[in-house]
Chain A
Amino acid sequence: MRIKKNIAISESGFMFNPITGESFTVNPIGTEILQMINDGFESDQIIEAICNKYQVDQHTFDKDLTDFTGMLDHHHLSQHHDKEEA
């Protein structure tokens, strides 16, 4: 999964979709995950990194990560192939 190329992400957790004009806020851990996604991390690597850094078990975080990436899909911010989607 990748974040669409045209989506702007600020370090303070602000996302903007220039095509739809929609803005989003993301909390700090979400911003961290977006950064990892952009850096090409796969789910397993994200889970490992987060569980090492935060007080959370793999089960819980796996569920929360699925939920989070689900919401990225829901808001049309992600793509699952390299080709650019509209």
Chain B
Amino acid sequence: MEKLRYERPIIRRLDSEMPNKFGMRTDYRPTTQIEGVAVKTLIEEFGSPLFVISEKVLRSQYRKARKAFTTRYPKVQFAWSYKTNYISAVCNVFHQEGSWAEVVSGFEFQKALGNGVEGSKIIFNGPDKSEEDLEMAIKHNSLIHIDHLDELYTLTELADRHKTKPRVAIRVNMDTGVYPMWDRFGFNYENGQAWDALNKIMHSGKLELVGLHCHIGTFMLSTQAYAVAAGKLAELAIGVQRKFNHTIKYIDMGGGFTSKNTLKGAYLPGSDTNPSFDDYAEAITTALLNADFTAEYLPTLILETGRALVDEAGYVLGTVISNKRSSKGKRITIVDIGVNLMFTSFWYDHKVTPAQEFTQYAEDTTLNGPLCMNIDVIRESVSLPLLNKGDNIVVHSVGAYNMTQWMQFITLRPAVVMIDVDGKPHIIREKENLNTVNGQERIPIHLNRFEL
């Protein structure tokens, strides 16, 4: 007689206080495949853990965002935020869709050039641009967004030295009514720093002022803050027109739109509560269209959206290593995905689903990673069906920041696979090996040998 499918025995106390903040089950179906490819096959072929990116979702997110803006405003340009995910295959999907590149370091700049982005379509942000970085940006006729006065003076000097007029914008920070206010980058609007910088640029005549930039924060739940910011940048642009008879060509609103992830401590899932692209687009474009621009001087709207375009396209697949109990009787499940790979588990309650069929029985579970550290917790409390050693799980919406902020710690970083629009998986970043680490190291001769 064939044996029956096994499930481990569990007992669970029924709590009368309903519904439990953490115990809410939102998913009753396993994630057995991603874009038509079985999770088990992916793990067999490429190992566990494994990052997986859906090209289809990348493109559909981009098109959704683009449409939200282009249906409301005549001149829109996206620039892919490299730091959010700079795996070249991911960047190139966005470049194929028409995105320019937004970079914040010499390394990212070179990566964008290497991917084939024309220098004039690279936006160079950030407070730390070395003289060499700036020279590279000038040589490529890139858009340099000035963060502070030291940079402004350096640029003016370089302009003299190279007898050219670099194309620049200033980054503006401002009070948009949200706390905390991001005021460490750029020039402040309210206290006049921004005007001061604009005056210096215009009077020097050495730099070509083409744009105004802001990035008011990340995972911004308020669309109103964008309306305020767009209104303030529009005011500056109109002021420059009036005072210097000089036209600002673009207003760059930065990034900061939410993905559908759920912030830790939020009562309702982010998929229900976070603003949509249409909500952000409505706030920003209304503010710009209502400003006093004449039709011929309407600036191009640039968006450096990162997280919201890529988060939902990314998954990390993992494997259950062991089940345990805490001293208080709580279920602990250890998986092979550590916080070193999933930095965003400090921010979000990521959705986690089993990759195989399960019954309706569930347990409140703490999902721990494999690192020998207390902080290695993927989910502190999540109601999960019964998982056995060797079972697989899928963590959802991990496309933003994890594949750039991940740390090589204790284990090596896993492969990243992209599933193309026809459902074919491609490795887009190889699994690391011992040489990835050792190749960078040098051992002084006197430390070459030892006896034990």
Contact = CB atoms under 8 A, between A and B. Distances in A.
A74 B10 CA distance: 13
A56 B14 CA distance: 28
B169 to A, nearest CB: 61
A27 B361 contact: yes
Contact of A54 (B3, B10, B11): B3
> Could you say which of B4, B8, B323, B359 has the most chain A C-beta atoms within 10 Å of its C-beta?
B8
Nearest to B4: A54
A25 B325 contact: no
A55 B329 contact: no
Contact of A29 (B3, B6, B12, B325): B6
A45 to B, nearest CB: 15
Contacts of A70: 325, 329
Question: Which secondary structure dominates where chain B touches chain A?
Answer: loop
Given A24-B12, A29-B7, 13 more contacts: A15-B11, A22-B13, A29-B6, A29-B9, A54-B3, A54-B5, A55-B3, A56-B6, A65-B9, A67-B8, A68-B10, A68-B11, A72-B11
Interface string A10-54: 000001000000111111111001000000000000000000111
B21 interface: no
Interface string B325-340: 1000100000000000
A70 B323 CA distance: 14
Interface in B322-371: 323, 325, 329, 359, 361
B9 A68 contact: yes
Interface of A: 15, 22-30, 33, 52-56, 60-61, 64-65, 67-68, 70-72, 74-75, 77
Given A54-B4, A60-B388, A24 B325 contact: no
A56 B386 CA distance: 14
A71 B5 contact: no
Contacts of B10: 26-27, 30, 68, 71
Interface string B377-395: 0000000001011000000
Nearest to A46: B9
A39 B86 CA distance: 62
Nearest to A66: B325
Contacts of B4: 53-55
B13 A75 contact: yes
